[in-house]
């Protein structure tokens, strides 16, 4: 249906041209192999570059929230600040700590980063810019993202440091609890779209984003997902695993150099991943804002390429998360667990039921109009 609109700036032409060229000149196996390697390299590069951009953006926005200027020395407006930081972290010494369990100590950061990269691969960045598109997309994302917490627990324990240990335990309790809510909120939307595959989910939101389509229920699920996603990434009012005043830096106190960099990178990218999953599931992913029947308007919207739409939505959600981060005071651990188990989880369970009723009785927006 929307293939009819002209889409001058999409990557589709480039990727299909590359594919055709490779297949023409090479045997099947090598063409696929080269494509896989290319996709991997592009994903990793995007991962690193996005982290750098996110760190800069976060520092700048934080500064504005706190009425400061923020980084402004390296380059105009300090745009090369993170490049300098990354270079510094790359050439920093990795400090070896005595009396730690060496294997677990060095393995822990990899758990974090691997979980984060695996999830990163499943994000649809734009039309045809989608690496892992399983039938069970949403479930895949919740499954592999839960691996990260093992890294946190192992890091905390193997550091042989009480602060790290307490930080890791807090983080573990927090992640295990809030994962439940995030999963249920996503399941609510799976009920609405009737599929777990990200690509199909986006297609089904062509004319009506899920957040409008399921009105009340969607809105509740959206808010719950943002809260629990925020808590899962150990940020904002939920950053008590690394509460500076009590625990120095929580589970990554003993890490230095690139290993600390891994934790840092994973934290920022997890924020991005949560925002992009929310954008995909609730706000239509890379799908432009379209209104059924208004062809001229739709065409105008399609002139903006899909990846701009995607990053726009994700950027909005990230801004929202930063806003929350600098607006609310930190929760205590009992308040945190109360919020999850006594409020979010029951609301969520009722919400799923409401969504099922909405879908079955045909009260969603697309059914009504």
Partner 1 sequence: MAQQIIFYILAVIISVFSIMAVTSKRLIRSATYLLFVLLGTAGLYLLLGYHYLFAVQVAVYAGGIMVLYIFAILLTQKPGEKITPEPLRQRVLAIVLSLVGIVFCGYIIFSNITKVYTLVTQSELNTKHIGMTLMGTEKFQYLLPFEVISILLLACIVGAIMIARKRS
Task: Please say which residue, 63 or 107, places its beta carbon nearer to partner 1.
Answer: 107
What mask, x for binding partner 1 by CB under 8 A, covers residues 90 to 109? Answer: -----------x-xx--x--
Instruction: Single out the segment in contact with partner 1 by CB under 8 A; choices: 164-172, 310-318, 340-348, 351-359.
Output: 164-172
Task: Please say which residue, 110 or 303, places its beta carbon nearer to partner 1.
Answer: 110
Task: Please say which residue, 55 or 231, places its beta carbon nearer to partner 1.
Answer: 231
Q: What's the closest the beta carbon of residue 16 comes to partner 1, in angstroms?
A: 23
Cα–Cα dist 166/153, whole Å:
10
Write the DSSP assignment of 302-355 as a string of letters.
HHS-HHHHHHHHHHHHHHHHHHHHTTSPPPPHHHHHHIIIIIIHHHHHHHHHHH
Determine the size of the site formed for partner 1 (CB under 8 A). 26
Structure tokens that stand for 350 in this block:
């009722």
Tell me which residue of 14, 43, 18, 128 sits closest to 26, measured CA to CA: 18
165 lies in the binding site for partner 1 (CB under 8 A): yes
Write the DSSP assignment of 28-40 as a string of letters.
HHHHHHHHHHHHH
Cα–Cα dist 197/190, whole Å:
9
Cα–Cα dist 267/112, whole Å:
9
154 lies in the binding site for partner 1 (CB under 8 A): yes
DSSP element (H, E) containing 47? helix 28-65
- The single residue listed with the structure tokens 């934080």 is 62
Task: Please say which residue, 154 or 331, places its beta carbon nearer to partner 1.
Answer: 154
Q: What's the closest the beta carbon of residue 85 comes to partner 1, in angstroms?
A: 31
Q: What's the closest the beta carbon of residue 188 comes to partner 1, in angstroms?
A: 16
Task: Please say which residue, 82 or 181, places its beta carbon nearer to partner 1.
Answer: 181
169 lies in the binding site for partner 1 (CB under 8 A): yes
Cα–Cα dist 178/339, whole Å:
10
What mask, x for binding partner 1 by CB under 8 A, covers residues 187 to 206? Answer: ---------x----------
Task: Please say which residue, 81 or 171, places its beta carbon nearer to partner 1.
Answer: 171
Q: What's the closest the beta carbon of residue 279 comes to partner 1, in angstroms?
A: 22
Of 11, 65, 80, 134, the residue at the interface with partner 1 (CB under 8 A) is 134
HSE of 243, CA atoms in CB hemisphere, 13 A:
17
Cα–Cα dist 274/292, whole Å:
29
What single-letter DSSP state applies at residue 290? -
- Three-state DSSP class for residue 129: strand
- Three-state DSSP class for residue 248: coil
Of 11, 80, 139, 307, the residue at the interface with partner 1 (CB under 8 A) is 139
What mask, x for binding partner 1 by CB under 8 A, covers residues 22 to 41? Answer: -------x------------
* Residues at the contact surface with partner 1, assessed by CB under 8 A: 29, 101, 103-104, 107, 134-136, 139-140, 142-144, 146-147, 149-150, 153-154, 157, 165, 169, 172, 176, 179, 196
């Amino acid at each position: 249906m929307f293939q009819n609109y002209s889409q001058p700036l999409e990557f589709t032409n480039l990727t299909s041209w590359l594919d055709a060229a490779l297949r023409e000149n090479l045997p099947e196996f090598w063409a696929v192999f080269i494509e896989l390697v290319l996709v991997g390299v592009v994903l990793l590069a995007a991962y690193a570059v996005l982290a750098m951009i996110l760190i800069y953006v976060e520092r700048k926005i934080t500064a504005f929230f706190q009425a400061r200027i923020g980084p402004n020395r390296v380059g105009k407006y300090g745009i090369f600040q993170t490049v300098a930081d990354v270079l510094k972290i790359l050439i920093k010494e990795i400090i070896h700590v005595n009396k730690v369990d060496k294997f677990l100590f060095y393995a822990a950061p990899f758990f974090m980063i691997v979980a984060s990269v695996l999830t990163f691969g499943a994000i649809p960045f734009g039309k045809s810019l989608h690496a892992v598109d399983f039938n069970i997309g949403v479930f895949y994302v919740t499954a592999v993202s839960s691996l990260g917490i093992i890294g946190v627990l192992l890091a905390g324990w193997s550091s042989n440091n009480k602060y790290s240990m307490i930080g890791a335990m807090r983080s573990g309790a927090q992640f295990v609890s809030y994962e439940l809510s995030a999963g249920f909120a996503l399941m609510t939307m799976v009920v609405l779209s009737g599929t777990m595959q990200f690509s199909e989910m986006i297609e089904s939101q062509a004319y009506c984003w899920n957040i409008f389509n399921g009105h009340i229920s969607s809105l509740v699920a959206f808010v719950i997902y943002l809260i629990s996603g925020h808590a899962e990434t150990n940020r904002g009012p939920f950053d008590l695993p690394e509460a500076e005043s009590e625990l120095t830096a929580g589970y990554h106190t003993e890490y230095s150099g690139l290993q600390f960099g891994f934790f840092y990178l994973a934290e920022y990218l997890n924020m991005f991943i949560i925002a992009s999953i929310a954008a995909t599931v609730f706000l239509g992913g890379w799908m432009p804002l379209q209104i059924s029947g208004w062809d001229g308007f739709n065409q105008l919207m399609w002139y903006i390429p899909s990846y701009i739409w995607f990053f726009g939505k994700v950027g909005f959600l990230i801004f929202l998360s930063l806003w929350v981060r600098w607006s609310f005071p930190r929760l205590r651990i009992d308040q945190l667990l109360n919020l999850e188990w006594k409020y979010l989880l029951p609301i969520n369970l009722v919400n799923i039921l409401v969504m099922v009723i909405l879908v079955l009785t045909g009260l969603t927006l697309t059914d009504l109009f």
